[in-house]
Chain A
């Protein structure tokens, strides 16, 4: 258990509405990540953070923004949700002592109608 929680766990929303997903960690690690999981694609990196207010884009960042105002929280925002953003979203942390190994949260299932 890496002390990662995600909220909400499930969400249904309509096209064009804003959506914010939250990732919370209890261990104060620097690195946090947001991925999306789609059939046939594995997981793809959306954005990551290497400290408070320090973020960078990943492979599939278009249509997403992130914020990190506290070490323990990393927020993912869909400014105007589209059906193509229907997916399962995973947050991950990288423990400073384990170098590259990432530990994943339980996921958020998002359906955009």
Chain B
């Protein structure tokens, strides 16, 4: 079975500083990987996805993630945090053939003024 580990349950940064949210995955297949964001009391919004094309994936709102097979990682980064980035972020690994989509436990990002 596949799984996802988000290495930090909470990350706090100052506005204008870089953001790094870490994600490791385990999968028997060539995985598809996603990052979703959830703002307070809202649904989940897709930030970006990796599906075996370019290993550096660019998403919305200036976020990007790099797929590193040798490290089984898919870390999410942003060069400069904005107050509106404060939210919960979920890393997800997907196996299409088995309809198996596994979520990490989430990382709560706080942005200080």
Chain A residues with CB under 8 Å of chain B are: 31, 33, 40-45, 48, 50, 56, 90, 99-107
Contacts and interface: CB of A to CB of B under 8 A. Distances in A.
Interface in B62-113: 90, 94, 96, 99-101, 103-106
A61 B101 CA distance: 15
A39 to B, nearest CB: 8
Contacts of A44: 103
A102 B99 CA distance: 11
Chain A, interface SS category = strand
Chain B, interface SS category = strand
A107 B43 contact: yes
Contacts of B4: 42
A111 to B, nearest CB: 15
Given A42-B105, A50-B99, A104 B32 contact: no
A107 B44 CA distance: 9
B27 interface: no
B78 to A, nearest CB: 21
25 contacts: A33-B101, A40-B9, A40-B105, A41-B103, A42-B90, A42-B104, A43-B44, A43-B90, A43-B103, A45-B101, A48-B99, A56-B99, A90-B43, A90-B44, A99-B51, A99-B96, A100-B32, A100-B94, A100-B101, A101-B34, A102-B101, A104-B36, A104-B44, A104-B45, A107-B43
A34 to B, nearest CB: 12
B96 A100 contact: yes
Interface centre among A50, A56, A90, A100 (most CB of B within 10 A): A100
A101 B49 contact: yes
A41 B46 CA distance: 19
Nearest to A44: B103
B46 A103 contact: yes
A18 B96 CA distance: 32
Interface centre among B42, B44, B94 (most CB of A within 10 A): B44
